[in-house]
């Protein structure tokens, strides 16, 4: 009986990890940098659909979770980035030139 419970627990854990990885993949998006505001840690990106946020393609301002990453970017750069919502604010996590 204990082995059966352990197997069920393992299966549920693996399923949970799989869903988490899928959600993370959906949070990744591509876009073009339109503006960078280093003083306020903000970046404006014209991006494609972001499925994890149920967001259609648009141009919008994100707050940088790690502001130092913005210093290597410039308007016109094509980027791949991680977008997420936290406390009603849209944030950029990982971001890199493509």
pLDDT for residue 27: 78
CA 93, distance to chain mean position in Å, is 6
Place of tokens 């082995």: 3
Give the bridge partners for 43, in sequence order: 36, 62
CATH number of 2-97: 2.40.50.320
pLDDT for residue 7: 41
Q: Take residue 20 and report the two structure tokens written for it.
A: 């988490």
Digit-coded pLDDT (tens) for 49-97: 998 899 999 999 999 999 999 999 999 999 999 999 999 999 999 999 9
């Amino acid at each position: 009986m204990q082995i059966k419970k352990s197997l069920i627990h393992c299966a549920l854990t693996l399923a949970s990890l799989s869903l988490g990885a899928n959600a993370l993949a959906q949070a990744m998006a591509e876009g073009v940098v339109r503006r960078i505001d280093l003083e306020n840690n903000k970046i404006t990106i014209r991006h494609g659909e972001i499925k994890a946020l149920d967001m259609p393609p648009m141009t919008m301002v994100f707050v940088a979770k790690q502001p130092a990453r913005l210093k290597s970017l410039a308007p016109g750069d094509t980027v791949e980035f991680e977008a997420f919502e936290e406390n009603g604010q849209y944030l950029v996590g990982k971001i890199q030139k493509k």
